[in-house]
Structure 1
Amino acid sequence: MSLVLDIHALHSLPPSNINRDDTGAPKSAVFGGFPRQRVSSQSWKRAIRHDFERALGADAVGYRTKRVADLVSDKIQELTKAGGGEWDRDRADAASKSLFAAAGIKLTAPKVREGEQPRGEETGYLLFLSPRQIENAARFLIGSEGAKPGKKDAKELLNSSHSIDIAMFGRMVADAPDYNVDAAVQVAHAIGIHESEPEFDYYTAVDDILEDKEETGAGMIGTTQMMSSTLYRFATVDLDSLAENLGNADAAVEATVAFVKSFITSLPTGKQNSFAHNTVPELVYVAVRDTRSLSLVNAFEEPVRADDRASRRLKGAQRLAEEAAQLQTSYGFVPTASFVIGLGDLPAPFAEIATTTTLPALDGQVRDALRGEVQA
């Protein structure tokens, strides 16, 4: 029996540019034949990782960097200094490089621009390592007096004790696939439930000195693009895969509880100072399933349009509840537990298929639902 948790949200954004493409325009997509605003899954996963760090502490999340060898060298120097026998930098660097060589992970000297300080050797791509993996590696190298580790030792050090974000979002190591970690969490690109297109904001900046002298004209003129949408957001957690990645079923339950909360409260910060798009979802529907994950995005294949009888977000909530109910009736995909959080009348359409709750209460309810399924 599989165990998954699906989380769905309706999240309205005011005019903003929360996630932009290479031209500076808000990201978009065509769905159902209509243009929609889009916020990439990568953007929201980064926001969730930052929220993990805030809520769980820096030790709970990994480092995603090319400079992993420097992290191990830094930790070696920190630990040996605390023990009264500090290694110099060259010795620490040599030990660190031997670890990655044993793992088959290539390090090369980075290109340094004129005026920059030289840096240690780097991987050719961003590599995810957890704080525990870095510390375990440093302690092993110190204990072996810097002797080159074997391949088996390297794999044990770098492929266990994963942080919560590595276990959830996975890790790909291009030149050493044995160190890949399959993601236990899938996050969809958020898309608008209605059609929308970017708009342009024309702005000017006034030169204060010229203004004081009563001279006319702008000191700067420019444009920026923006969009405003109600987004459908979706993510799913595979509890079995997460337990395998973390090495513990109870840890997987706690990590999932943390993920649900961060999914709800996190927010990408693209151009936040310009637009202050500081909203939270107006509706969240959580379903625990022992079958398979189910996105409800097709509820919005036809764009939602407001009218005199109902707002766009109320119609969105109704569409979402209808899609969930039809999947239960027509396909038999009935959740083992389901919960809904919403503002005003938005939870009402879910009355027959979910327990209405609040964010403070949701942690305990999700934890109990998952533990009940794990124990069963």
Structure 2
Amino acid sequence: MSRTIIDVYALQTVPPSNLNRDDTGSPKTAVYGGVRRARVSSQAWKRAIRLAFANLLDRSQLGERTKRVGESLAARIKALDPNLSDEAASALAAEVFVAAGLAKLDNKKGEIKDIESSYLLFLSHRQLDNLASAALEASAAGAPLDKGRFKELARTDHSVDIAMFGRMVADMTDINVDAACQLSHAISVHAVDNEFDYFTAVDDRKVDAAETGAGMIGTIEFNSSTLYRYATVDVDALHRTLGDAAATRAAVEAFLVAFARSMPTGKQNTFAHRTLPDAVLVRMRDTQPVNLVGAFETPVRETHAAGRVELAAAALAKHTFAVEQAYGERPVASWVTQVGEQTAVLADLGKAVSFSELVAGVGEQVDLALGQPA
């Protein structure tokens, strides 16, 4: 059966930075191809993409992931019925999540507080608005909002971020949503050794020359790297969840922009590490996703003649051709946005366009795949 898969690849160089820390504060790493690489977890970049969606999509198309579900729903109930007291709105919100089995009411003191779920609960803004309306209707009828009604409302009006990244609810598995998008951990195309920045901070009140010494000292661990990034979007799965072709195209286009322009913010004020990709390659397939990370199983080693970006672009182009030749993989369409001569070799892999043209071109192809008129 023919599928519509969008594979997105990027090469991106970041300066000294600590984008994504482990539990000790060190930049995350991974061993690949026998050497240690810089790594940025998929979770960190998904979060950055979700935050970027706020500037690309209407709020009604997005969701909210929080444990403070009672507070969120109570605010919506109060907005619909301003005559309700804050306490009554909180009590009604609590009833909804307790009845659904997603939260337990701790009422030892005889008063109802805004409740929390035991884990992060991901609901779209439209779903929360619908729940608020249903809660008020049930309250007016003198009946609680039951679990069945909650499920019904949680299964419809999914947001783009829920459709893209999925939702898992352990206590109510029939409202789970399979993710239409998979995002790999970004890794450096070369070996990396973390470094330490020893810093001091001066006390502004020390004005006497006799007072020596810093106000504080410390160290920050960092590295710099050229990252290989990959994501894939199952357009058919996205369309099934969103239920609308126009919304699916808008979601794909927003994802491409967010993928290219977002950046995890770890130690951002310290390192000012925001960059844009040196190259973005998008291939639409009708078979399966294909991660081309094998291009960098042998780590890139820069020379006096060529730097990491140039060598990485050449390795990616060579590996892409080899894999697709060996398996008969022929993309339905392909687009490339690349910066300068260092990545010029990638222009042979698809239609060389500006990034805005790439996004529009993919969007048009999504319309065609979903049977929409050109």
Runs (5+) with no aligned partner, structure 2: none
Letter of the 1:198 counterpart: N
Amino acid paired to 1:121: I
Give matches, 1:312-323, under 5 Å.
312-323=308-319
Quick one: distance in 1 between partners of 2:347 and 2:80? 56
SS at match of 2:81: helix
Could you tell me how far 1:241 is from its partner in structure 2? 1.0
What's the offset of the Cα at 1:266?
Answer: 0.5
Comparing 138-147 and 307-316, the one that deviates more? 138-147
> What's 1:333 paired with?
329
Q: Give me the whole-angstrom Cα distance separating, in 2, the residues matched to 1:94 and 1:207.
A: 50
Q: How many residues align?
A: 368
Aligned partners of 2:309 and 2:343 also within 8 Å: no
Greater mean deviation of Cα atoms: 313-322 or 340-349: 340-349
Distance in 2 between the 1:51 and 1:321 partners? 29
Is 2:370 the partner of 1:374? yes
Residues 307-354 of structure 1: per-residue CA shift (max 9 Å, x gap)? 132221011011111111112211111110101111102443234330
Give the structure 2 partner of residue 101 of structure 1: 98
TM alignment of 1:218-367, pairs within 5 A:
218-367=214-363
Work out whether residues 110 and 121 of structure 1, in 8 Å CA contact, stay in contact via their aligned partners in 2: no
**Which amino acid letter does the alignment assign opposite residue 217 of structure 1?**
G
Q: In the aligned structure 1, how far is the partner of 2:104 from the partner of 2:359?
A: 42
- Given residue 356 of structure 1, which amino acid in structure 2 is its aligned partner? A
Residues 83-141 of structure 1, C-alpha deviation per residue, up to 9 Å, x if partnerless?
xxx22233323332332234232334499xxxxxx951110001011110111111112
SS of residue paired to 1:363: helix
Moved segments of 4+, more than 3 Å: 108-111, 211-214
Contact 1:347 1:356 in 2 (8 A): no
Equivalent residue, structure 2, for 1:195: 191
1:49 is aligned to 50
Distance 1:177 1:134 in 2: 18
Distance 2:161 2:226 in 1: 27
Amino acid at match of 2:287: T
Of the candidates 111, 121, 127, which is equivalent to residue 121 of structure 2?
A: 127
Instruction: Tell me the SS of whatever aligns to 1:11.
Output: strand
Q: Which residue identity is paired with 2:213?
A: G
SS at match of 2:191: coil
The Cα of 1:34 is off from its aligned counterpart by 0.2
Contact kept? 1:110, 1:122, Cα under 8 Å: no
Partner of 1:74: 75
Under a length normalisation based on structure 2, what TM-score does the superposition of the two structures give?
Answer: 0.94
Matched, 1:8 2:9: yes
2:56 aligns to what SS in structure 1? helix
Contact persistence 2:94–2:114 (CA under 8 A): no
Cα RMSD between the aligned structures?
Answer: 2.0
Structure 1 SS opposite 2:213: coil
Pair 1:226–1:119, CA change in 2 (3 A): farther
Q: Is the 8 A contact 1:19 1:26 kept in 2?
A: yes
Gaps of 5+ in 1: 112-117
SS of 2:314's partner is: helix
Rounded to whole Å, the distance in 2 between the matches of 1:102 and 1:346 is 59
Query: Equivalents in 2 of 1:110, 1:16: separation in Å?
Result: 47
| Aligned-residue identity in percent | 46
Once the 2 structures are TM-superposed, how far is the Cα of residue 57 of structure 1 from its aligned partner?
A: 3.6
Question: Structure 1 residues 160 and 212 mapped into 2: Cα distance closer, same or farther (>3 Å)?
Answer: farther
Residue 295 of structure 1 aligns to a residue whose secondary structure is coil
